[in-house]
Amino acid sequence: DSGVTQTPKHLITATGQRVTLRCSPRSGDLSVYWYQQSLDQGLQFLIQYYNGEERAKGNILERFSAQQFPDLHSELNLSSLELGDSALYFCASSVDPGQAEAFFGQGTRLTVV
Amino acid sequence: GQQLNQSPQSMFIQEGEDVSMNCTSSSIFNTWLWYKQDPGEGPVLLIALYKAGELTSNGRLTAQFGITRKDSFLNISASIPSDVGIYFCAGRMSSGAGSYQLTFGKGTKLSVIP
């Protein structure tokens, strides 16, 4: 158990809908990262937050947004969902952005039908 | 964007054999990490490397940070059935202003035949 908690574990929704994925980082970790894992693209970095502020953006679509709250949990919002958004979404956390070792949650498997 | 080429894509080995996999990049990284992912789980950190030339072991696993900072390899000695999974390399560099991102290879799927 990495200490990073993601909910829900599975999500099935229809195209055009909006969903919210939630992540609680390990106790003491201030930095949260979101990744998308699909079969053909591997693990793709989406976005990073540190202590509530956005720090880095990767290949995140405009339809996707995220935030980190004062209690350090983070949410990833995915809207106007398309079939191609079906993937595993992982959250990872580290003490601070300078620490390379990030610990991953178990992921949320999103299926868009 | 940065690309990591990880090879081989998959391998089948006999239990007890040694395994070697590697990652190469066109870009320089400051840190290399190796993760293992089991089905239905998130990646688990195995080894982190911070300096060019560094050789680090974790039990039967040994990884090295290439001296050019553009490559890394992972060796697993005397493989056992629980080594089955997908192994990912990841390179990390600063993208400025205290922000960092990991770039992942596409993984090496390891199967161990008892």
Condensed to tens digits (0 to 9), the pLDDT of residues B46-59 reads 999 999 999 999 99
Among A8, A57, A3, residue whose Cα is nearest residue A33: A57
**Percentage above 90 pLDDT, chain B:** 77
Q: State whether A42 and B1 contact (CB < 8 Å).
A: no
Distance CA(B55)–CA(B61), nearest Å, equals: 11
Tens digit of each residue's pLDDT, chain A (113 residues): 889 999 999 999 999 999 999 999 999 999 999 999 987 778 899 999 999 999 888 889 999 999 999 999 999 999 999 999 999 999 999 987 777 788 999 999 999 99
CB A100 to CB B1 under 8 A?
no
- What is the CA angle A12-B41-B73, rounded to 5? 130
Chain A residue numbers with beta carbons less than 8 Å from the beta carbon of B99 are: 48, 55-56, 97
Q: How far apart are CA B35 and CA A22, in angstroms?
A: 23
How far is it, in rounded angstroms, from Cα B38 to Cα B41? 5
Interchain proximity A45–B107, CB inside 8 Å: no
pLDDT beyond 80 at B21: yes
Residues B26-44 have pLDDT tens digits of: 988 989 999 999 988 899 9
Would you state the structure tokens that stand for residue A27, as one six-digit string? 């106790």
On chain A, the residues whose CB falls within 8 A of the CB of B101 are: 33, 45, 48, 56, 58
B33 touches chain A (CB under 8 A): yes
Tell whether the model's pLDDT for residue B11 goes beyond 70. yes
Cβ(A20)–Cβ(A31) under 8 Å?
no
Q: Is A46 exposed, middle or buried (0-12, 13-18, 19+ CB in 10 A)?
A: buried
Between CA A43 and CA B105 the distance in angstroms is 8
- Rounded CA-CA distance B15/B13 in Å is 6
Instruction: Identify the closest residue of chain B to A55 by CA–CA distance.
Output: B99
The distance of A106 to chain B (nearest Cα, Å) reads 4
Close Cβ partners of A92 (under 8 Å, ≥ 6 residues apart)? A4, A32, A33, A34, A35, A102, A103, A104, A105, B42
Residue of A107, A100, A11, A27 whose CA lies nearest to B92: A100
- Binned at pLDDT 50, 70 and 90, residue B98 comes out as low
Sign of CA dihedral A61, A22, B102, B37: negative
